[in-house]
Structure 1
Amino acid sequence: MHNSIRNKGMVFTIFISLTISVSAQNTDLKLWYNAPAENVWEAALPVGNGRLGAMVFGNPGQEQISLNEASIWSGGPNRNDNPEALNALPEIRKLIFEGQYQQASKMAAQHIQSKRINGMMYQPAGDFRLVFPGHENYAGYYRELDLESAVAKTTYKVGNITYTRTVFSSVPDQAIIIHLTADKPGSLTFEASLLSEHNSKVIVAKDNILYLSAQSSDKDGVKGAVKFETGVGIKQKGGTISSDNGNLKVSGASSATVYISIATNFVNYKDISADEKTKNAAYLHAVMQKSYRRLSKDHITAYQKYFNRVQINLGKTPSAGLPTDQRVAEFAKGNDPQLAALYYQFGRYLLISSSQPGGQPANLQGIWNNKMNPPWGSKYTININTEMNYWPAEESNLSEMHGPLIEMVKELSETGKETARVMYGAAGWVTHHNTDLWRISGPVDAINYGMWPMGGAWLSRHLFEKYLYNGDREYLKTVYPALKGAAQFYLDFLVEEPVKGWMVVSPSMSPENSPKSHQEISIAAGTTMDNQLVFDLFTNTIRAAEALNTDVVLIDKLKKMRMRLPPMQVGQYGQLQEWIQDLDNPNDKHRHVSHLFGLYPAGQISPYHTPQLFEAAKNSMIQRGDVSTGWSMGWKVNLWARLQDGNHAYKLITNQLTPAGVNQGENSGGGTYPNLFDAHPPFQIDGNFGCTAGITEMLMQSHDEAIHLLPALPDAWKDGSISGLRARGGFEIERLVWKDGHLYEVVIKSTLGGKCRLRVPNQIKGRKLAVAAGNNPNPFFQSLEVKPAIISATAGLRPAEIKDTLLYEVDTKPGKTYKFKISQ
């Protein structure tokens, strides 16, 4: 008994210590403001559980909670293939190879472009409103989003009474929870209502449950078929609850908990047979059985399982006590490393909140949208934006959040088979530059954007990348059919171009850009990005097949075809060419830098293995410029990190962390909204995720045969630490510390065993650490066999500027941890 009491005391002491530690950290992990959002959606604060999203405005007198559910989309199951493409394909290719681009584009618009369906729209569920009589005059206002707990809170005073609201979206209980309190008993009175722009019906059930029933919108001739129901229940402490004219009214309570559930008839992309009312009733009944304390505890536990894996410290900021919107406005004027760290963790928060296992992937706005017809339909734009959403998933230790995208790729590998067969007469599967809830795989939008049959190649990269981190052969078996099918399509679709005899993708384009010499006609053959994508896909499929000891004949075909792909080329301005011909304009400031896919996210361009391409990529980045749309600047953070220029990457972070509308440049206005949402403009979430990935790449990279520590550390972050990052090969960076710009300590855990190779900026020491040489034998770090570049005689390349580094390695065992420190 005595020992038991002593043990309990020990546990209690540890709990107090952890509480103090978390409390101290909380000041670094909050977005906070001293004014409500009022009617500005981009100032409201997002909460989400992957399926249910809410934007919390924090308005004292009339609170607005904008509601979303991930499967509320316009239309229903449909296809958008154009069968005319197959017969037109030979003539379109002929016209492209003859240089008759205008005629080729016109013919593609007539026979390849979708006749009517350009993707459905992600739509809001509606708004939940709370009206508090007399709360228009308030004082002591404060609102926050705590990234540590995924809870939004609003507090203010009316007279001498303090009112507090907390809001979160729970994964374990599949509901949005709002808790309202007043510090004087009996002073909480409010009216609650549900509204929707959909054709909807609101009723109050006899047990004072508020229900809104609606159906999604029609689009492009496809009838809106998603039925949904929102339910609201309230439990109050003290006072009374009543209903009036479709609203609920709570009077004289001391506290109240609001439970919001939403359910749809969606089962999967081809099945909408569920009963939304039965599903919703089950959600609401289950959650209303629990106390607020239990709901809060379960929510935080489930959330922190993921969020707490990574902690980051980039240094302290004297101005950290300012409201978040003021810090964004001031960021460019001085160094605010704590805001950069907050922005990094906000990206991880958004991914956890918008992409949960078993659900839909994060779309163009994550899960947060208040418009019936949102920009670009808030769809899945897969010529970069959707992939960008998931760049942080593996390396920032959120592998489970990657799952919804992996499942979407599997589903597209099914719908895309019909598109490949009907439109192009090819085996395997294909999808173009956009898709939606219904997994359409034909071209979307005008031909200048839609003629890009490469979505399957880029998405398939995620299938294999996940394997490089987890080393799980059973997982690889589940995704290999989709990976193989994507490769099979290009084996059939590639065509020989007449000048060099290379095998190229035609027709296609370099996403959303066009050579100035072609009068804004984008259609082309053999663009650099396409060549890089197919090379990447073939290589990953070969490696997957070899790991699974299967498809020997396919491996041989892929290796032979890979040798016939065009090499990367350096043009007359010393740039990495964007097109197969030397057509680049050094004054082109287009937001897409598609030809640099080989630098990032792929690893085909390396300072150590392809220094001339490395220098050409750098020249392209300089020519393209910095300021652009928000997501483009997020991509450029990663690109400059891969170019090992930490100060330039930091400059892009500064540009991105600028209030929306301040930056000037192509598509000017890119930057950050008051709630830290990325501005395209308008809001696109990919910029948030891109910058989180970019900060990771500045501190750790693992693509080029080694784990490279501090490859692009800016001068602004002299001292700092990060823990919990994951590297390819099954390694976890349990602790990375640097002081005065030098690596000080690194602790690495090996989950798979095998050779761990480290590239570092200064000498370190550790048990069994040896100097490395030659190729890394670890199969997860296999180098790419990139063809030698073709370099223009007028390119004028100078030697690539590469940082001095040291290369070490250590043999590791699964489950073991290895510690290295600065060499004294």
Structure 2
Amino acid sequence: MIKKTLLIFAVICFSTQLSAQDNLKLWYDKPASDWNSALPLGNGRLGAMVFGTPAVEHLQLNEETIWAGSPNSNAHKLEDGVLEKVRRLIFEGKYEEAQDMATAKIMSPKNHGMPYQTMGDLFISFPNHNKYADYYRDLDISNAIASVSYKVNGVTYKREMFTSFTDQAIIVRLTADKPKSITCNVFLTTPQEKVERAIDGDQLVLTGLTPAHEKQSGKVQLETRVKPKVKGGTYTTSDDIISIENADEAILYIVIATNFVNYKDISGDKTQKCKQYISQSFANDYEKAKKEHTAFFRQYMDRMSLDLGKTEASNKPTDVRIKEFSETFDPQLAALYFQFGRYLLISCSQPDTQPANLQGIWNDRFLPSWDSKYTCNINLEMNYWPAEVTNLTEMHEPMLQLVREVAETGEHTAKLMYNTRGWVLHHNTDIWRITGPVDRAASGMWPTGGAWVSQHLWYRYLQTGNKEYLKSIYPVIRGAAMFFNDFLIEEPEHGWLVVSPSSSPENTHSGSNNKATISAGTTMDNQLVFDLFSNVITASEVLGIDKDFCDTLRTKRDKLPPMQVGQHNQLQEWMYDWDLPDDKHRHVSHLYGLYPSNQISPIRTPELFEAAKNSLIYRGDPSTGWSMGWKVCLWARLLDGDHAYKLLTNQLDLVTNEKKKGGTYSNMFDAHPPFQIDGNFGCAAGIAEMFMQSHDGFIYLLPALPSVWKSGSIKGLVARGGFVIDMDWKDGKVTDLAIQSREGGNCRLRIGVPLKGNDIRKAKGENPNPLFAVPEIKTPLISSKATLKVQDLNLDKNTLLYDLKTEKGKTYNFKISK
């Protein structure tokens, strides 16, 4: 029976959810031995890695806009006829020759993108703290606070640290249980250039300049300030050191700023920003500042809870739990890992900040691997897979803003390099929003980045159905589609329209004896362009505009190469049947159509569904960290929760050296290796997919529940259409269900238990909810493009479809019994 939510019920639910969140801690019984065991703090703009060493505390510091170089474009005009020559070589099967020519003549010759860089390090040295006992450190991801405690000579010392969301400072509090016990020295270091140090009153001041890179002059000016607040004892600031003696308590306020305004403007005043931050944070009472910081953080974190039960394993230090995960049953570690992914996204991607890069905001290197840029052939997108479904839509904003900005810079690149309309993005960009192809053609000759990042603008619309938002993004997705409208070329064998030159990202193919990646009409490109054209067509229909252009897109969409099943019963990765069953490449690009897209379905495209499964089986489970994160999502979409759990187990495997392939460091960071944050985000999204999926025309509850998680509860998952799902389950069956309707309208449920109530009806006929519209898939395995009807669905006999009529803002509760 349905009951409308009462206020008292909402309060009870909220209290229950908070209690489930209150013990989310990563904890350890020893200091960090290296950066990969330090603990991350962040407020979107600032990042700090906390080592927790008693004798010398080490905070490695980041600020999101500290990048080498300066505003620039890496687009360049091609020699006449080069693009046509490369295409002709591809169609003639001369792939190596085509790739060599693309590297020499198409790739950007000088600027391959700028690296994201560390600010440097803060050290706090404590004399005679080398010998200690009762050591403990943790990261409380319920409150975004790190702490350290230990004993020296019978005195218990404590450190508490957070990166304040509200005061824009890194705040460190030092205390002891005996008066006048705090004695330490504080100093800063940086690898940056043109460093100057100064004392401003009682503040340490460090300024510097980021370097030139690949002949692109460095012009980002940075400044860091440290100011102490000391109770009892004394302190001095001189010789670039803050010296504190015999204090009862010491609080350090660390602020960082640059002259960066936006990707084309670096006229900001770093000193004015720093002084404002230090003044604001210093004036605030510590307990009040901590309370405000925690409240800000928890408004996002507390939207979701996950309870999978606890075992004795949860009493062990986190690094031990990761090491033993494959051999013990530790469901709480899986829940902690899921919530850690959400914690990281909140901490490195706030509205009005830069999007999460390859390492979020945490990077200790001057020249990090792959420059820690935005890699757009999987990694950038994977960072944001959990944003909408795990109830962190605001954290999606920085990426959506990046898409708007590369649409601006990409318009210049499209015109200059390819003489097309619209805008283009290749496989990499940076803080300066470059859009030209970088590196060698083997990895960089991939012009389809704009199609993929545009999907994220569409995901936001699918969550809300907000027409004003759709109207605002329509010019961006239209521009991406316009580029492919002009860039697609007819291939001679089948007459299909293809993206050329391109690649199936970073994977060589047997058409070149595995010596080249370059090709035409790869499956991933076809899927991406299909989605982009379909999104623009649907948007134009919803808005009632642009009919002529969208009629053109329909015609061209019909001429895209279909997805094909190859000789090994696999989904072909390329236009030709080149797949090798022993190919274990980390990229599984052709499976984009399964996840994150919805073109492959057990209901609508069962043959392609089985072919995708075969491809994934051939590719194998072990891989780099981010790749295993993607495979968790893919196996969940394949409705195989136990295999998805196996991949999660492979991912939660302790990595202690850089030689091991894939896994998790002791601080729960994803190990590619080295650290890449996309694996954390990919796994968080994959875990969400195990509990709820809403891509196939309905909300499917517990579609891929692992058999080991027989009972549990999850609250706060967000489905397409703006439906927020809370549910409990026992023995693999839903027992309690609450659905909050943010936008109103029809909610179509697929569930394995009977539902009753005045607002529930058995689903019949066409799906009336446009946000759950099933896409038309053009493939030789589909005989009809007619609108799918419920009675045509190839549903498991143990599941049922229901339509729930909802009103905006109301919550519907179900108590389900056998």
State the 1:127 CA deviation.
Answer: 0.2
Could you report, residue by residue, the CA deviation over 1:706-745 in whole angstroms, capped at 9, with x for unpaired residues? 0010000001100001001111011111x21110111112
Contact residue 93 and residue 511 of structure 2 kept, 8 A: no
Residues 735-750 of structure 1: matches in 2 within 5 Å? 735-750=726-741
Answer yes or no: is 1:582 the counterpart of 2:603: no
> What secondary structure, in the 3-state scheme, does the structure 2 residue paired with 1:262 have?
strand
State the 1:30 CA deviation.
Answer: 0.3
State the 1:801 CA deviation.
Answer: 11
2:536 to 538, 541, 546: 541
Code of the aligned partner of 2:770: P
1:730 to 722, 735, 744: 722
Q: Which residue of 2 aligns with 1:321?
A: 315
Contact residue 74 and residue 434 of structure 2 kept, 8 A: yes
Contact residue 204 and residue 243 of structure 1 kept, 8 A: no
Contact residue 634 and residue 691 of structure 1 kept, 8 A: yes
2:349 and 2:360 mapped to 1: Cα distance?
Answer: 8
Could you report, residue by residue, the CA deviation over 1:333-365 in whole angstroms, capped at 9, with x for unpaired residues? 022110000000000000000000001000000
State the 1:73 CA deviation.
Answer: 0.1
Could you report, residue by residue, the CA deviation over 1:282-329 in whole angstroms, capped at 9, with x for unpaired residues? 111111111111110110010001000000011222210000000000
Residues 524-535 of structure 1: matches in 2 within 5 Å? 524-535=519-530
> What secondary structure, in the 3-state scheme, does the structure 1 residue paired with 2:108 have?
coil
Code of the aligned partner of 2:301: F
Q: Which residue of 1 aligns with 2:187?
A: 193
Q: Which residue of 1 aligns with 2:25?
A: 30
Residues 762-773 of structure 1: matches in 2 within 5 Å? 762-773=753-764
Code of the aligned partner of 2:22: N
1:16 and 1:62 mapped to 2: Cα distance?
Answer: 45
> What secondary structure, in the 3-state scheme, does the structure 1 residue paired with 2:740 have?
strand
Could you report, residue by residue, the CA deviation over 1:235-277 in whole angstroms, capped at 9, with x for unpaired residues? 0111111023210001111111110100100000000011111
> What secondary structure, in the 3-state scheme, does the structure 2 residue paired with 1:596 have?
helix
1:787 to 778, 782, 786: 778
State the 1:206 CA deviation.
Answer: 4.6
State the 1:79 CA deviation.
Answer: 1.2
State the 1:205 CA deviation.
Answer: 2.5
State the 1:477 CA deviation.
Answer: 2.0
Answer yes or no: is 1:54 the counterpart of 2:45: no
> What secondary structure, in the 3-state scheme, does the structure 2 residue paired with 1:345 have?
helix
Once superposed, what is the RMSD of the aligned Cα atoms?
2.0
2:382 and 2:132 mapped to 1: Cα distance?
Answer: 42
Residues 155-170 of structure 1: matches in 2 within 5 Å? 155-170=149-164
Code of the aligned partner of 1:770: R
Answer yes or no: is 1:138 the counterpart of 2:132: yes
State the 1:82 CA deviation.
Answer: 3.0
Going from structure 1 to structure 2, the CA distance change for 1:318 and 1:617 (only over 3 Å counts) comes to: same
Code of the aligned partner of 1:411: E
Going from structure 1 to structure 2, the CA distance change for 1:801 and 1:257 (only over 3 Å counts) comes to: same
Answer yes or no: is 1:610 the counterpart of 2:605: yes
Q: Which residue of 1 aligns with 2:4?
A: none
Q: Which residue of 2 aligns with 1:686?
A: 678
> What secondary structure, in the 3-state scheme, does the structure 2 residue paired with 1:270 have?
coil
> What secondary structure, in the 3-state scheme, does the structure 2 residue paired with 1:332 have?
coil
Q: Which residue of 2 aligns with 1:557?
A: 552
Contact residue 380 and residue 678 of structure 2 kept, 8 A: yes
Q: Which runs of 5+ in 1 are unaligned?
A: 1-10, 792-799
Answer yes or no: is 1:381 the counterpart of 2:375: yes
1:628 to 591, 602, 623: 623
Contact residue 199 and residue 237 of structure 2 kept, 8 A: no
Q: Which residue of 1 aligns with 2:466?
A: 472
Could you report, residue by residue, the CA deviation over 1:367-396 in whole angstroms, capped at 9, with x for unpaired residues? 000000000000000100000000000000
1:181 to 175, 191, 198: 175
Going from structure 1 to structure 2, the CA distance change for 1:21 and 1:698 (only over 3 Å counts) comes to: closer
Answer yes or no: is 1:238 the counterpart of 2:229: no
1:633 and 1:801 mapped to 2: Cα distance?
Answer: 29
Answer yes or no: is 1:707 the counterpart of 2:699: yes
2:18 and 2:232 mapped to 1: Cα distance?
Answer: 33
Residues 61-72 of structure 1: matches in 2 within 5 Å? 61-72=55-66
1:514 to 503, 508, 514: 508
Could you report, residue by residue, the CA deviation over 1:454-483 in whole angstroms, capped at 9, with x for unpaired residues? 110000000011011122222222221111
1:524 and 1:486 mapped to 2: Cα distance?
Answer: 21
Could you report, residue by residue, the CA deviation over 1:177-234 in whole angstroms, capped at 9, with x for unpaired residues? 1111111111111100010011253534352100110011110100111001000000
Answer yes or no: is 1:147 the counterpart of 2:141: yes
Code of the aligned partner of 1:730: G
> What secondary structure, in the 3-state scheme, does the structure 2 residue paired with 1:300 have?
helix
Contact residue 21 and residue 305 of structure 2 kept, 8 A: no
Going from structure 1 to structure 2, the CA distance change for 1:132 and 1:721 (only over 3 Å counts) comes to: same
1:118 to 105, 112, 128: 112
Residues 204-219 of structure 1: matches in 2 within 5 Å? 204-219=198-213
Answer yes or no: is 1:442 the counterpart of 2:433: no
Going from structure 1 to structure 2, the CA distance change for 1:781 and 1:790 (only over 3 Å counts) comes to: closer
Q: Which residue of 2 aligns with 1:257?
A: 251
Code of the aligned partner of 2:182: L
Q: Which residue of 2 aligns with 1:795?
A: none
Q: Which residue of 1 aligns with 2:788?
A: none
1:363 to 350, 357, 364: 357
Contact residue 197 and residue 372 of structure 1 kept, 8 A: yes
Residues 214-229 of structure 1: matches in 2 within 5 Å? 214-229=208-223
1:226 and 1:361 mapped to 2: Cα distance?
Answer: 18
Q: Which runs of 5+ in 2 are unaligned?
A: 1-7, 783-793
1:265 and 1:72 mapped to 2: Cα distance?
Answer: 10
Going from structure 1 to structure 2, the CA distance change for 1:34 and 1:668 (only over 3 Å counts) comes to: closer
Could you report, residue by residue, the CA deviation over 1:409-462 in whole angstroms, capped at 9, with x for unpaired residues? 000000000111011111000010000000000001111000000110000000
2:667 to 658, 675, 682: 675
Q: Which residue of 2 aligns with 1:601?
A: 596
Code of the aligned partner of 2:380: T
Contact residue 74 and residue 219 of structure 1 kept, 8 A: yes
Q: Which residue of 1 aligns with 2:5?
A: none
> What secondary structure, in the 3-state scheme, does the structure 2 residue paired with 1:721 have?
strand
User: Is the deviation greater in 169-178 or in 348-357?
Assistant: 169-178
> What secondary structure, in the 3-state scheme, does the structure 1 residue paired with 2:574 have?
coil
State the 1:763 CA deviation.
Answer: 2.8
Contact residue 628 and residue 668 of structure 1 kept, 8 A: no
Contact residue 656 and residue 665 of structure 2 kept, 8 A: no
1:428 to 414, 422, 428: 422
1:480 and 1:469 mapped to 2: Cα distance?
Answer: 16
Could you report, residue by residue, the CA deviation over 1:478-526 in whole angstroms, capped at 9, with x for unpaired residues? 2211111000000000000111111010000000001134132000000
Contact residue 705 and residue 775 of structure 1 kept, 8 A: no
1:361 and 1:789 mapped to 2: Cα distance?
Answer: 39
State the 1:764 CA deviation.
Answer: 3.2
Going from structure 1 to structure 2, the CA distance change for 1:20 and 1:803 (only over 3 Å counts) comes to: closer
2:415 and 2:693 mapped to 1: Cα distance?
Answer: 39
> What secondary structure, in the 3-state scheme, does the structure 1 residue paired with 2:593 have?
coil
Contact residue 70 and residue 367 of structure 1 kept, 8 A: yes
Q: Which residue of 2 aligns with 1:299?
A: 293
Contact residue 589 and residue 624 of structure 1 kept, 8 A: yes
2:687 to 689, 692, 695: 695
Could you report, residue by residue, the CA deviation over 1:782-815 in whole angstroms, capped at 9, with x for unpaired residues? 1111012359xxxxxxxx9968421111111111
2:224 and 2:194 mapped to 1: Cα distance?
Answer: 11
Could you report, residue by residue, the CA deviation over 1:758-784 in whole angstroms, capped at 9, with x for unpaired residues? 011333334422221333120101111
1:537 and 1:754 mapped to 2: Cα distance?
Answer: 26
Aligned pairs, how many? 799
Code of the aligned partner of 1:270: K
1:409 and 1:17 mapped to 2: Cα distance?
Answer: 37
Code of the aligned partner of 1:581: Y
User: Is the deviation greater in 472-481 or in 633-642?
Assistant: 472-481
Going from structure 1 to structure 2, the CA distance change for 1:801 and 1:731 (only over 3 Å counts) comes to: closer
Code of the aligned partner of 2:484: Y
